[in-house]
Structure 1
Amino acid sequence: MAGESEDVAMLAVCPNPTIDRLVVLDELLPGTVGRARENRAYPAGKSVSAARGSRANDAAPGVLALLPVEGSAWYLETLRGEGVEVAAHSYPGRVRESIIVIEDDGRVTVLNGTGAPVDAATWDGFVDAAVARTRPGTWVVCSGSFPPGVAPSAVADLVAAVTGAGGLLALDTGPAWMPAALSGAALPALVTPNLAEAEAILAGDAAVEHTWVGEDALDRAASAALALRSRGLASAVVTAGAAGLAWASGGESGTLPGLAVDVRNPIGAGDAFMGGLVARLEQGLPFAEAVAWGMATSCAAIEQWSPGGADAARVRHHRARIG
C-alpha cells in the first residue's frame, strides 16, 4: 500500500474501481454476432473520472483506490501515465471490468462488472487510509458504487469518518447506499446524483437506471435538488444528461440547460462535472459559478473517449458558452 501516511489538498476516494472497455459499432443487435469498429480500455471508476475532471480545472487531486491485486499493475501504470497521483489500498481479487457499448446513433449500453468482495478489516483499513490523507477544510470526493461486502451502514461510517477528520465530502452514489449516508450521524457537504438516482433515492426505490431522460427532466431535477437539500445537506446538484442540471445550495437554487456538443463518450460526464465543480469550490468560487465550471467540464468530457477526461482549453471554451 503506497504512501498511506501522505495527505493531499484534494482527494478522490474510489471504492470500486473498474476497467472500462469501450466497444464502438454501428448498431448493437442482441442475439447476433457483430463486429466492433473500435475497442478502447481505460482505468476507471467514478471517482477516477471525477479526478480527471478536476485536473482539467487546475487541480491535482490524489486518488486512493480500493484496488484488487489481479489486474492492478496495468490499472496503476496507465493511470499514472496520465499524470494522476494514485495510491492503491490492495486486497485479494481481480479488478472488475465494465463494458460500454456505444452505437452510431448515440445509444449507450452499460454493463457494470461486480467488484471483488471486501471484508470488514479491508474496508476499515481503506477508510483509515482515506482519513490519513484528509486535510481539515478540504474536499474529498467519493463517487460510484461499493463492492460486495460493503453495507449501507459502512458507507454512513465513511461519511462520519471523513467529516470527523474535517473533510468536506462530495458524495455521489446510488439508491442502494445514499439513503444510509443521508441518515447517519454526519452528512456529506455535497451530493451530485443523476436524475434517475435522485428520484430513486427520494422514493426509497432502487430502480433501473436509464441512460436517457424525459422531456420534463430539468423541472424534475430542480424538484429533486430542492428535496435533497431539504434533508439537511449544505448543497445538492442533480444532473439530467443533455437536458442540463439543477442545484440548491444554502438559500439559493438554479438550473442550467444543457449545451449542444459533439458526443463521443457520455459515460463519466456526470463525474467530470463533480470533479470540475469541486475543484472550483476548492479554489473559493461561489457555488453557482462553480456549477457553471462543472457543466463546462462535463461538456468537454463528452467530446473525447476517456471517461471523465476533459481538455482544459475546451473547458474554458464551454464555460464561455454558458455565459
Structure 2
Amino acid sequence: MAGPRFFAVGVSPALSRVVRIPSLRAESVIRAIDYIEAAAGKAANSCRVASQLGASPLLLSPLGDESLDYYRQMAEADGIRLDAVPYPGRTRWAVTLIDQEKVEKGQEAATELIIGEANPVPAWLGKELLERGLGHLPSSDLCLIAGSRPRTIGRQVLESIARRAVTLGLPLFLDMTGGDMLAVLGAVAEATEERSKEKDSRVVVKVNGKEFEESFGAGPDVKGALAVEAQRRGCSFVVTRGAKSVLYYDLRKERGGELPVATTLPMNPIGSGDTFLAALALSLTTGADFPSAVAHAAEMASLNTRFLRPGTIVAP
C-alpha cells in the first residue's frame, strides 16, 4: 500500500554537489576524497526524506530546461515524482565542501557555496505554478511549501496554494521567512475563517531561531514569543536551533515545550532542517501527537548529519 501523498511546492531548487576533501586549506590543488550529486533545494530535500520514510512525494518546482533532464533523473532515483515547470536557462548549483579533518575532530566541517545562474525565473512562470499547484492539492494528503521565492514570481502564488490547501482541510507545513511567511499566514487565516467547521486542518510553521526572530520581530526570548505569535497567526510553531534544544508550541493543545537534541559527530548538516520538516509533517499527518512528532523529527534530522547527501536518513 502506498504511503501518504506528500505534495511539496519548491520555488528555489538547486543541483547539489557535496565534495569531501582532506582539509580546507590554501593549496594549489586539493584532491577530493569523494563526492555526490543530488536534486536539492528545501522542498526536494524534504521529498527525498519523505520517500525514505515510506511516503509518495510529488515535487512541483520551476527548473531551467538545460538542467531539467539531469535533475529529474536524480529526483526519480530518490523516489521523487517531479512536476517541473521549465524555463530557458540553467538551475543554480549548491556546492558543499566537507573538511574531513574537521569531521574527525567533531568540528563544524561544511562550507556551502551557492552559485546562482544568470537566467532569472521568468514572471510568466508563476501562473503555471499556481495552476498546477491547485490541481495537485485535491489528490494530496498534505501540502508543504518551502524555500525562498524568486522575486519574479508573485507572492500570491504561494498565498493561493496555501489558502486552497487549508480550504480543502489539508495539513499545511511552511518553511519560509520574512514578508512571504507573514503574507501566507495571513491568507491561511482568512481561509480558516471561511472553511466549513466540519473540515479539519493543521497549519505548522517550521523555522530556525534566527528566521523566527527576523520574520516575527521577536527578540532573543524566542520561547516566550512562541505562544503569542501562535495565537496571533493561527498556527503551530516549531523552532530548531542547531545543537540547542528544539522549541515548539502546539496551537490545538495551547501548550508549548522544549526538546533537547542528540549530539552527533556531524558529516554534513546541510538539509537537516528539511529532514526535520518532512519527518514532522508525516508524523503529524498520520496521527502522532505534537511532542512525539517533534521528537521523531529531531531524531531524523540527527541522522541526516551522518551522510554526505542533504536530506538523507539511510545509506545510499
Fold in common (TM above 0.5): yes
Seen in structure 2, the aligned counterparts of structure 1 residues 95 and 29 have a Cα distance that, compared at 3 Å, is same
Q: Kindly report structure 1 stretches of 4+ aligned residues shifted beyond 6 Å.
A: none
1:142–1:170 contact (8 Å) kept in structure 2:
yes
Q: Select the structure of larger CA radius of gyration.
A: 2
SS in 2 for 1:119: coil
1:95 partnered with 2:84: no
The alpha carbon displacement at 1:170 in A equals 0.8
Under a length normalisation based on structure 2, what TM-score does the superposition of the two structures give?
Answer: 0.82
Shift of 1:191: 0.8
Unaligned runs of 5+ in 1: 1-7, 206-218, 313-323
- Label 1:42 to 1:165 Cα distance change in 2 as closer, same or farther (>3 A): same
Shift, 1:182, TM fit: 3.0
2:80 is equivalent to residue 77 of structure 1: no
The Cα shift of 1:48 comes to 1.0
Identity over the aligned pairs, expressed in percent? Answer: 25
Letter in 2 for 1:191: V
Question: SS of the counterpart of 2:82?
Answer: strand
Instruction: Provide the C-alpha distance between the structure 2 equivalents of 1:97 and 1:63, rounded to a whole number of angstroms.
Output: 18
1:108: which partner in 2?
110
Partner of 2:313: 310
Partner of 2:207: 193
Which residue of structure 2 aligns with residue 287 of structure 1? 290
Instruction: Classify the secondary structure of the residue corresponding to 1:264.
Output: coil
Q: Match of 1:214? A: none
- Given that residues 221 and 245 in structure 1 are in contact (C-alpha distance below 8 angstroms), is that contact kept between their aligned partners in structure 2? no
Given residue 12 of structure 2, which amino acid in structure 1 is its aligned partner?
Answer: N
Provide the secondary structure at the position in 1 that maps to 2:300. Answer: helix
- Sort the Cα spacing of 1:265 and 1:160 in 2 relative to 1 into closer, same or farther, 3 A: same
Q: Is the 8 A contact 1:130 1:162 kept in 2?
A: no
TM (norm. structure 1) is 0.81
Q: Name the residue aligned to 1:252.
A: 255
Alignment partner, residue 237 of structure 1: 238
The answer for the alignment partner of 2:195 in structure 1 is none
Checking the alignment, whether the CA contact within 8 Å between 2:125 and 2:153 is kept in structure 1 is no
Flag structure 2 segments of 5+ consecutive residues without an equivalent. Answer: 103-107, 193-201
Which segment is superposed worse, 247-256 or 15-24? Answer: 15-24
Q: Secondary structure at the match of 2:172?
A: strand
Aligned 8 A contact 1:237 1:245 in 2? yes
Q: Counterparts of 2:218 and 2:88 in 1: how far apart (Å)?
A: 33
Cα 1:242–1:117 change in 2 (3 A) is same
Change (3 A) 1:18 1:100: same
1:203 and 2:204 correspond: no
Residues 27 and 166 (structure 1 numbering): CA distance in 2 closer, same or farther, change over 3 Å? Answer: same
For the residues of structure 1 that align with 2:279 and 2:257, how far apart are their CA atoms? 18
**Contact 1:65/1:88 (CA < 8 Å) preserved in 2?**
yes
Q: How many residues align?
A: 291
